[in-house]
């Protein structure tokens, strides 16, 4: 494969073909279904699918088949089937990404907005640019670049879903539906990830799982004057605090649900040490700290292990609490908290969620009513060992594409599809990577994509596709 031609093709595709279309995709408010229950009526997910499908129709890929697949009552997926080029292998490379987005949220910087694409200083700003709208474009560009440079690739199937930000609830059904068509998947490429800097390629070797529960503690049918009720009626907030103490040590942040703890594998501990040495300070510097606030530990390896291999609890939402300016002297009837646990990659999410249910609903103080809703559970993922051909190829990519050795990251986020695929194709190799960095602002205001890094990641995927056929 002509490496010079590969590089120039990738850069040309990003400048001339991808950036304009990806910018238009940013403008589509394709909010994930859990945040938009009326997604089917609004049509934004379908619009995102159609936008990328229309772009694909302009590509010069002989024999490609592009199909929108939509099972009844489920979010649609876009399936792109590209025949092998220059290779006689009968196996399949599955390239994964998603087109749904997190909610817009407020407080974007001046001149920026979630649905307003802005290119500034080599960055594309807007919701879904980095997470994960670019992934389908990068996958197709990698395939095109391999062909243009005289390389070869196996049959490639690009699958873009529209429910990842909601925990991919529809993907098991799609995987079952599409499995006969996918064939023998020997390599999975996922571009919905990233790393600790933009100087090298980062390979994600594990992903945390998730348990999410909305818990409502109710003590009254309606509110009462606090001067008359307090001291007689227990506070729903105080009861919620007591229940939280069953789940987490408030002094240390340690999660007390034993089902959520696992032993960290020795090879992952070693990888974390190498990653911290490659990008020192990132664990702390990437957070927008308020003045004077300190991290939970000073050892960066411990911080990385906390973020990748230890359970954590975040209270990500609340209800029943009026805004300060609306707060009257009322003993409120209920308090609702949304509890989001991140689980170690090898923890059992089903056992974990059952433990949380038990802890929240057994022997509740004062007999208060506890209602649990919007319960979500997803296992994490621990990657299989790298095959020699893939490890050698990553060494080449590090040297020739990035000019720095590749490193691994144990990602604190979740991509439920990876666990499903690992279970379905236990012999497959996994390349989970991406263009997101520690300050890319995914899920929060000012999300942005590092365009040059995305192009390098695209070129790296192309090199891997070619090497995969020669393994």
Closest by CA position to 94, among listed 425, 385, 457: 425
Quote the pLDDT of residue 409. 92
Q: Could you write out the DSSP letters of every residue in 30-73?
A: -B-GGG-TTHHHH-HHHHHHHHHHHHHTTS--TT-EEEEE--TT
* DSSP code, position 363: S
φ, ψ (nearest 5 deg) of residue 124: -105, 115
CA distance 176 to 71: 11
CA atoms of 337 and 403, how far apart (whole Å): 47
Q: Which residues contact 289 (CB under 8 A, 6 or more apart)?
A: none
d(CA 455, CA 461): 10
Contacts of 253 (CB under 8 A, 6+ apart): 296, 312, 313
Averaged pLDDT for residues 178-193: 95
Task: Work out the angle between the directed axes of helices 300-309 and 266-278 (0-180°, nearest 10).
Answer: 130
Q: What is residue 108's DSSP assignment?
A: P
Domain spans of the chain, in order of start: 3-207+381-469, 209-268+306-378
Q: State residue 350's pLDDT score.
A: 95
CB 136 within 8 A of CB 99: yes
For residue 412, is pLDDT > 90? Answer: no
Task: Give the global pTM.
Answer: 0.88
For domain 3-207+381-469, the CATH architecture is: 3-Layer(aba) Sandwich (3.40)
- Quickly state the pLDDT bin for 413 (edges 50, 70, 90): confident
pLDDT confidence of residue 415:
82
pLDDT band at 411 (very low <50, low <70, confident <90, very high): confident
What is the radius of gyration, based on Cα positions, of the chain?
Answer: 23
- Structural contact between residues 98 and 163, judged by C-beta atoms closer than 8 angstroms: yes
The backbone torsions φ and ψ at residue 172, rounded to the nearest 5 degrees and listed phi first, read: -55, -40
Give SS3 for 99.
coil
CA–CA–CA angle 315, 316, 317 (5° rounding):
100
pLDDT band per the 50, 70, 90 thresholds, residue 305: very high
* pLDDT, position 416: 78
- In b/e form, how buried is each residue of 234-261, taking b as 16+ CB within 10 angstroms? bbbbebbeebbeebbeeeeeebbbebbb
The architecture of the domain spanning 209-268+306-378 is 2-Layer Sandwich (3.30)
Question: Is the backbone peptide bond immediately before 86 cis, with ω within 30 degrees of 0?
Answer: no
d(CA 192, CA 406): 17
Q: Which two tokens stand for residue 172?
A: 């098991």
In what helix (H) or strand (E) does residue 392 lie, and over which residues does it extend? Answer: helix 388-397
Report DSSP state, residue 208. -
d(CA 60, CA 73): 33
Q: Look up residue 5 and give its two tokens.
A: 């031609």
Q: Find out whether 380 and 419 touch, Cβ atoms under 8 Å.
A: yes
Evaluate whether 418 touches 345 at the Cβ level (below 8 Å): no
Within 10 A of 366 (CB to CB), how many other CB atoms are there? Answer: 13
Question: How remote is the C-alpha of 355 from its chain's centroid?
Answer: 25
* Span 326-349, pLDDT tens digits: 999 999 999 999 999 999 999 999
Residue 390 has a pLDDT of 98
Can you list the alpha helix ranges (DSSP code H) found in 183-265? 226-229, 236-247
Higher pLDDT among residues 262 and 90, named by residue = 262
- Please list, in sequence order, all residues whose beta carbon lies within 8 angstroms of the beta carbon of residue 171, skipping any fewer than 6 positions away: 161, 163, 416, 417, 420
- By DSSP bridging, strand 185-190 and strand 429-432 are parallel
Calculate the CA 195 to chain-centre distance.
12
pLDDT score recorded for residue 283: 84
Half-sphere exposure of 413 (CA within 13 A, CB side): 19
Q: Using CB atoms within 10 Å of the CB of residue 205, give its burial: 0 to 12 exposed, 13 to 18 middle, 19+ buried.
A: buried
pLDDT number for residue 419: 86
| Cα 235 from chain centre | 37
Identify the residue whose tokens are 């070693």. Answer: 270
**Percent helix, strand and coil across the chain, each to the nearest 5:** 40, 25, 35
Residues facing residue 338 across a β-bridge: 214, 317
**Tens digit of each residue's pLDDT (9 = 90 or more) over 148-184:** 999 999 999 999 999 999 988 999 999 999 999 999 9
Q: How confident is the model at residue 417 (pLDDT cuts 50, 70, 90)?
A: confident
């Amino acid at each position: 494969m002509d490496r010079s031609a590969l590089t120039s093709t990738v850069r040309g595709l990003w400048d001339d073909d991808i950036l304009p279309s990806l910018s238009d995709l940013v403008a589509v408010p394709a909010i994930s279904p859990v945040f938009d229950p009326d997604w089917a009526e609004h049509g934004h997910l379908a619009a995102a699918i159609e936008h990328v499908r229309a772009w694909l129709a302009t590509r010069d890929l002989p024999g490609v088949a592009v199909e929108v697949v939509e099972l009844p009552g489920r979010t649609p997926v876009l399936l792109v089937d590209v025949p092998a080029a220059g290779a006689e292998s009968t196996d399949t490379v599955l390239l994964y990404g998603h087109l749904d987005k997190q909610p817009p949220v407020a407080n974007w910087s001046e001149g920026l907005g979630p649905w307003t694409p802005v290119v500034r200083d080599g960055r594309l700003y807007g919701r879904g640019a980095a997470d994960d709208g670019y992934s389908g474009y990068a996958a197709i560009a990698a395939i095109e670049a391999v062909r243009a440079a005289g390389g070869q690739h196996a049959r490639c199937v690009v699958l873009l879903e529209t429910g990842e930000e909601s925990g991919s609830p529809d993907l098991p059904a799609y995987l079952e539906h599409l499995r006969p068509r996918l064939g023998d998947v020997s390599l999975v490429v996922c571009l919905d990830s990233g790393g600790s800097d933009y100087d090298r390629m980062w390979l994600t070797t594990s992903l945390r799982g998730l348990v999410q529960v909305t818990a409502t503690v109710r003590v009254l049918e309606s509110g009462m004057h606090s001067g008359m009720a307090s001291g007689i009626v227990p506070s729903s907030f105080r009861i919620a605090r007591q229940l939280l103490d069953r789940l987490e040590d408030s002094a240390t942040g340690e999660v007390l649900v034993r089902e959520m703890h696992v032993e960290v594998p020795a090879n992952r501990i070693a990888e974390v040490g190498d990653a911290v040495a490659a990008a020192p300070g990132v664990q702390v510097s990437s957070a927008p700290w308020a003045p004077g606030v300190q991290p939970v530990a000073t050892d960066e390896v411990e911080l990385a292990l906390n973020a990748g291999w230890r359970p954590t609890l975040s209270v990500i939402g609340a209800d029943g609490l009026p805004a300060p300016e609306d707060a009257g002297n009322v003993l409120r009837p209920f308090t609702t908290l949304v509890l989001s646990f991140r689980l170690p990659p090898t923890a059992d999410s089903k056992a974990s969620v059952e433990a949380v249910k038990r802890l929240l609903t057994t022997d509740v103080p004062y007999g208060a009513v506890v209602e649990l809703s919007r319960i979500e559970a997803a296992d994490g993922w621990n990657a299989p060992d790298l095959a020699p051909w893939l490890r050698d190829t990553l060494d080449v990519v590090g040297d020739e594409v990035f000019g720095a050795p590749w490193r691994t990251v144990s990602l604190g986020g979740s991509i439920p599809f990876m666990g499903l695929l690992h279970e379905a194709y236990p012999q497959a190799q996994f390349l989970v990577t991406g263009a997101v960095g520690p300050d890319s602002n995914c899920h929060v205001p000012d999300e942005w994509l590092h365009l040059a890094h995305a192009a390098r990641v695209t070129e790296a995927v192309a090199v891997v596709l070619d090497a995969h056929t020669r393994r």
